[in-house]
Amino acid sequence: MPILDLLIGKPLAASDERAERIGPVAGIGVFGLDALSSAAYGPEAALTLLIPLGIAGIHYSVPISAAIIVLLTIVYFSYRQTIGAYPGGGGSYTVARENLGPNAGLLAGVALMIDYVLVVAVGISAGVGALVSAAPSLQPHTLALCLGILVIITIINLRGVREAGLIIMLPTYLFVGCLVVAILIGLAKTLLEGGHPVPVIAPPKMGAATEAVGAWILLKAFASGCTAMTGVEAVSNGVKAFREPSDENARRTLTTVIALLIVLLAGIAWLVNIYHIGATDPGQPGYQSIISMLVTAILGRGIFYYITIGSILLVLALSANTAFADFPRLCRVIALDRYLPLAFSLRGRRLVYSEGIYVLAALSGVLLVIFGGVTDRLIPLFAVGAFLAFTLSQAGMVFHWRRIGGPGAVRSMAVNGLGAFVTAITVLVVLVAKFTEGAWITVMLIPAILVGMVMVRRHYDRVVIATASPSPLELKDFRPAIVVVPMQRWSIVAKKAVRFALTISPEVIGLQIGSEDTPDLRPDWEQYVEKPVMEVGLPTPKLVVINSPYRYVLMPIVDYVLELHKKDPTRQIAVVIPELVERHWYYYFLHNQRAAALKALLYVKGNQQIAVVNVPWYLDF
């Protein structure tokens, strides 16, 4: 069997996937995961930029978070309308393509693809950041931990996961529950202790201010903080998955998710201010995440702290996991429109789109290695793709309402228009504020990928034209092929191949590549092939033995076939490769490669006249 069963499981039958419909309670877990988990890195991303302001910087967390919450509210109303308009699921790619044309759709698709890669990289790195906060001795192993988690998630997804509601719901609720409890206790302590609560364990002292407050630094902090909004579009993509009335249930879910996210963002912003918690230098020893410091300050390092950190790690790893479910599906849709290689549309043996999974794992792995697994370094790349997709999707909705018309269309256009406007402004703010720190990478990548996609499409169109053949079969010079059967000794496998060769042509050549320790095939050939063939009166197949001094087998076969071709260039040649097929994955590496390597060599060196026939023999053990 051709791929590792042990790791990725036995092949599955292609029965249709059954969709289990869910209600808002499960929906908050499944579709709220991405949005809610952003609270674990968004506020921290903003505060990290305020480090140079010292203690003074912390105070600005409140206005910055307020601005983000206003933005979030506008986007909320905008996506509420998408849910009603696209009951079949309104992903940015779909909405933009249907309403703004294929190019806008492709742009949204590219933005989303980049976004998914960053969801994986940031999700994992922020999760490891939480872990390192709890266990500082692991700090030097940040990158190794990130890569380890990436490998595990990749393998799980190659096996295929059904989105098991409960497994995702529990950590989401645990995460939100822990943070809400910590925030409430923090607020209660603040009230009881007259606005100046004493931390259970004091957070690390902030360094002195090295910079004065200025509009530029606040803009940058805002731009980084916007990453807290990533993932809010998930509910509107998944309307189909909700129980009837699905739009009503989806809307209720969206409302709850956004409300919870606002509570988290507001609570964190307020409390870091009260407790004087500033960000620590990311990627350096002594790093501790904001939430880790906050929970430690409010409740100390008891069991509650470790449960909270555990839930953060889990929720962030799971948010990476959702990208592994969505990225390959997006690639498939684009590949079916022939803008990506067809391979992305082929399901692997576990009914997952393996190519998409490999590509996502490789790209996010590269990002993690380049940026050392440090969230803060990845953040500047993040928001551009997400907010570009927001903008295109909501701009698409404006055109949708214009097309639909009817009462309320103007109001709907206004709501989505406002959403598109503020997110477009945010894209610009993020681009300007973060350009030199990494946003330029996204800016370069988007057009490069777009051009690549258009070139892929053009190539496929060109192949269709080049291979078009509105002409009948030519049946002149209709001779059977010369059939070459390479074999090293007489065996069941060779016997079956020769038998098959005899059914397809009267001209069969057995080919042995000999070296000092190869058994002599000639006596077997005479007794087991020539004799029975002559008895039934078929033309006698010939045996050719070629010596190869260094025990190289494949190249002499290829050379012989090319020689045959040179003698009669118009004649078809079929190379019949006897192939051992194993029933167990652990034999994969023991066989098969030689047949595959021979085929590859024949294709590299070969030409139109040379066909390859694989005759399998299945091992029973």
Task: Report which of 275, 280, 265, 296 is spatially closest to residue 62, judged by C-alpha positions.
Answer: 265
Residues 135 and 313 sit within 8 Å (Cβ to Cβ): no
- CA–CA separation, 225 and 388 (whole Å): 16
Query: Site for its own copies (CB under 8 A): which residue of 135, 164, 202, 336?
Result: 336
Question: Could you tell me which residues are beta bridge partners of residue 618?
Answer: 581
- Region of 383-391, 393-401, 416-424, 493-501 interacting with its own copies (CB under 8 A): 493-501
Residues 83 and 240 sit within 8 Å (Cβ to Cβ): no
Phi, psi for residue 253 in degrees, rounded to 5: -65, -45
Residue 597 Cβ vs its own copies, minimum distance, rounded to whole Å: 5
Q: Does 498 bind its own copies (CB under 8 A)?
A: yes
Residues 46 and 64 sit within 8 Å (Cβ to Cβ): yes
> Amino acid identity of 202?
A
Question: Exposed e or buried b for every residue in 133-143, given b needs 16+ CB within 10 A?
Answer: bbeeeebeebb
Q: Does 63 bind its own copies (CB under 8 A)?
A: no
Q: Does 621 bind its own copies (CB under 8 A)?
A: yes
Query: Site for its own copies (CB under 8 A): which residue of 407, 475, 567, 569?
Result: 475
Q: Does 562 bind its own copies (CB under 8 A)?
A: no
Query: Site for its own copies (CB under 8 A): which residue of 66, 492, 547, 568?
Result: 492
Q: Does 202 bind its own copies (CB under 8 A)?
A: no
Place of tokens 């501790």: 288
Residue 340 Cβ vs its own copies, minimum distance, rounded to whole Å: 9
Token pair belonging to 535: 């008895």
Alpha carbon 523 to its chain centroid, in Å, reads 57
Query: Site for its own copies (CB under 8 A): which residue of 62, 67, 147, 424?
Result: 147
Question: At 5, is the secondary structure helix, strand, or coil?
Answer: helix
**Interface of this chain with its own copies, residues 8 to 47, rule: CB under 8 A:** 11, 14, 16
Q: Does 66 bind its own copies (CB under 8 A)?
A: no
Q: Does 518 bind its own copies (CB under 8 A)?
A: no
131 vs 261, which CB is nearer to its own copies? 131
- CA–CA separation, 262 and 259 (whole Å): 5
The DSSP annotation for 157-183 comes to: HHH-----HHHHHHHHHHHHHHHHHHH
137 vs 198, which CB is nearer to its own copies? 137
252 vs 349, which CB is nearer to its own copies? 349
Task: Report which of 569, 562, 527 is spatially closest to residue 546, judged by C-alpha positions.
Answer: 562
Q: Does 462 bind its own copies (CB under 8 A)?
A: yes
Residues in the chain: 621
Q: Does 611 bind its own copies (CB under 8 A)?
A: yes
Query: Site for its own copies (CB under 8 A): which residue of 240, 402, 425, 527?
Result: 527
> Amino acid identity of 114?
I
- CA–CA separation, 218 and 225 (whole Å): 10
Residue 486 Cβ vs its own copies, minimum distance, rounded to whole Å: 14
Q: Does 306 bind its own copies (CB under 8 A)?
A: no
- CA–CA separation, 223 and 457 (whole Å): 35
The packing angle between helices 409-434 and 215-225, to 10°, is: 120
Q: Does 499 bind its own copies (CB under 8 A)?
A: yes
Task: Mark residues 359-388: x for contact with its own copies by CB under 8 A, - for none.
Answer: ----------xx-x----------------
Residue 346 Cβ vs its own copies, minimum distance, rounded to whole Å: 5
Query: Site for its own copies (CB under 8 A): which residue of 137, 536, 567, 569?
Result: 536
Place of tokens 């001209």: 507
**Interface of this chain with its own copies, residues 564 to 583, rule: CB under 8 A:** 572, 574, 580-581
256 vs 548, which CB is nearer to its own copies? 548
CA distances from 148 to 128, 207, 327, 561 (A): 10, 34, 20, 47
- Region of 70-78, 251-259, 265-273, 477-485 interacting with its own copies (CB under 8 A): 477-485
Q: Does 144 bind its own copies (CB under 8 A)?
A: yes
Task: Mark residues 218-247: x for contact with its own copies by CB under 8 A, - for none.
Answer: ------------------------------
**Interface of this chain with its own copies, residues 395 to 424, rule: CB under 8 A:** none
DSSP 437: I
Q: Does 345 bind its own copies (CB under 8 A)?
A: yes
**Interface of this chain with its own copies, residues 267 to 286, rule: CB under 8 A:** 283-285
- CA–CA separation, 563 and 609 (whole Å): 13
Q: Does 454 bind its own copies (CB under 8 A)?
A: no
Query: Site for its own copies (CB under 8 A): which residue of 300, 532, 542, 544?
Result: 532
Query: Site for its own copies (CB under 8 A): which residue of 101, 408, 480, 506?
Result: 480
Residues 272 and 43 sit within 8 Å (Cβ to Cβ): yes
- Region of 60-68, 271-279, 305-313, 528-536 interacting with its own copies (CB under 8 A): 528-536
Residue 256 Cβ vs its own copies, minimum distance, rounded to whole Å: 33
Contacting residues for 407 by C-beta, under 8 A, at least 6 apart: none
83 vs 613, which CB is nearer to its own copies? 613
> Amino acid identity of 182?
A
